[in-house]
Structure 1
Amino acid sequence: MVSDPIPRTILIVDDTPENIDILVYVLAPFYRTKVALSGKKALKIIQAAAPPDLILLDIMMPGLDGYQVCETLKGNPDTRTIPVIFVTAMGEVDDEKKGLELGAVDYITKPINPAIVLARVKTHLALYDQSRELTQQVALRTAELVKTRQQIIRRLGRAAEFKDNETGNHVIRMSHYCRAIARAAGMGPESVDILFNAAPMHDVGKIGIPDNILLKTGKLDRDEWAIMRTHAEIGAKIIGTHSDDLLGTAHMLALCHHEKWDGSGYPRGLKGEEIPLMARIVALADVFDALMSERPYKQAWPVEAAIRHVEEQSGRHFDPALLPAFRAALPEMILVKEKFSDRHGALADIDLA
């Protein structure tokens, strides 16, 4: 077997060091190898550096097992295409159907046969290359379609904002805030792009709220507040359910952007990490910008006061783990606030980039 001119990287995940040693011995002459003794460590390795080209993954591990690791990878747009091969004991073969359903491409039984390992790895790397090339070609051919879809999503978001914001620039600012925070939090580029383009749809459900409630200058009474809270579910219904990443994310953000870290939010009262990470970022960006924006019922807050509010609500309204990313993103966010200020009037061009 001839090694690649640029060695590929294989991540080996197994809680038994002896099993890792054997696989490294077999693969190291031909590939770069990285190792992890737990599922949690494997996810950290993947998120902290350039992702591996293929993963050899044990199933039975303490903490996060192989199934959970695979499901996490396949649920992330930045890692879902990485080939995962399960390496399992003979007694676990009956469980492989579950692994393949989760997105694994193959499985190898223990004790391993070096020739089989090398052959399977070579085959799936070749298939991965073909898949990436095809994906690039499709992306080039559909670029205009994607751009058109993004414009429609953004303009629907603006349509909702025009009901309670004279210029509608709020959705532009908070989309940029989301992107800055997500980048600072270490989110991968594809996920950041999806968040940036889906965020403008978070409040589309306001289209379904009567103007006498949405534009009321005084405090809402209990019945009015109950109606106002329905905008999250209305927005999710307007967008609908989709397998497409962008529209699926827009649906999730519309439904979950008013959930709070301590479980006191709505509509489902999700708590902590039950709330999708992107929704936690949108919640922070949305509130931060809303505080600094004039509304029929309030004056705009100074930037310093809005920052203090976010810090005070960390662990209650907002994910405390996002606070460092928020602070790191603040210089960029302040520039965005000025560039897309409501003082400049409604922007005719909604190309957010």
Structure 2
Amino acid sequence: MRMWEVERGVEVVLVGKGRDLEMWLTRSDGGVNVVPVLIAPGPRTRKAGNVGGLEDVTSLARGTRPGEILVSRVSGRLQRLRVVRHSSRGAPLVLEETAQYSTETGSGRTGSGGLSGSTSIQALHSEGALLVAASTSRTLPSGTSPLSLVHLDSTGSPVLPSSSLAHTPRSTAVYAVTTPPVDSCGFLNPEETVLAAFYDATTCVYDLRSSPPPSDVVSAWDQPRFERPSNEIMRLSDPWSDDPAFSLAVGGAAGSYVAVGTARNAAIRLFDVRQAASGGITAFAPGRDRSPVYGLEMEGSRLWGVSEKRGFWLDFDAFLGKEDGERVPFVGHVKGEGGSLRWMGE
């Protein structure tokens, strides 16, 4: 799911559903119209089947201009699409493929270039001329390189080669990536910072001004025998849980709040990077679902999320739950509290 500027000044929700895309439009009565999306082949597009779900959508990212979207698929393909006909009177939105890149071979199938890696892209994020792709590749006998940085040229095409932001001693993956909002504080500069949520339950903050480490410098600097890579400036985690991180959002006061959706119990880890040393909290969404938090969006101090059964929102500042004032349980990360359950608003 991705908020997308389908044309200048008009934002919609674009959703990947299997191998297909849908556009969601809100109505004046609060309902949602689902508009199908057709992808017209470009002049050099190769047809691809969907054997074993290889063409299912794994992630979406904004392009460099309105009406452009980047789509990654299980097969490792990365497509650049643009609007050629807008939806009207129930007709579908029509997109055209303008370029296609492969993570399998490191070379472009159409256009030029490719992305390094050997597996599908689990997550994408773009902001301006920056594209961050989470595509796990093996670099060490027992390690991985799960996060790549790619710059886009003026046409929206990747400028290769890509560079790896992280190397890990154990096999892992990144399930969500993002950059801070434009109104962020100086510590999380939107043009210089990338955040990544890892399968190993940690969330890392990277400084793009520092050169990525060589492949023999791994990022497990919480272990004594590993040094901290120069580009990894912060690591956020819940000391009471090792559940994988599934989703990620940044917002709040001066863009300093970081929210991480986890793999179980609709739990959301909340941090204020201005006070990272004091730890954060893990809140449990209203409804007490046992599912992962599949998506997060943050606006100001309000956090919207999606679990398997429902959507929900939390207020980071007020520590309140839904609009009816339902209290939300949480666990503090501060050492000495023993991970005891408390209630927001008390």
- TM-score bracket, shorter-length normalisation: under 0.3
Higher relative CO (CA 8 A, sep ≥ 6), structure 1 or 2? 1
Query: Which has the greater radius of gyration?
Result: 1
With normalisation by structure 2, the TM-score equals 0.25
Q: Which has the higher strand share?
A: 2
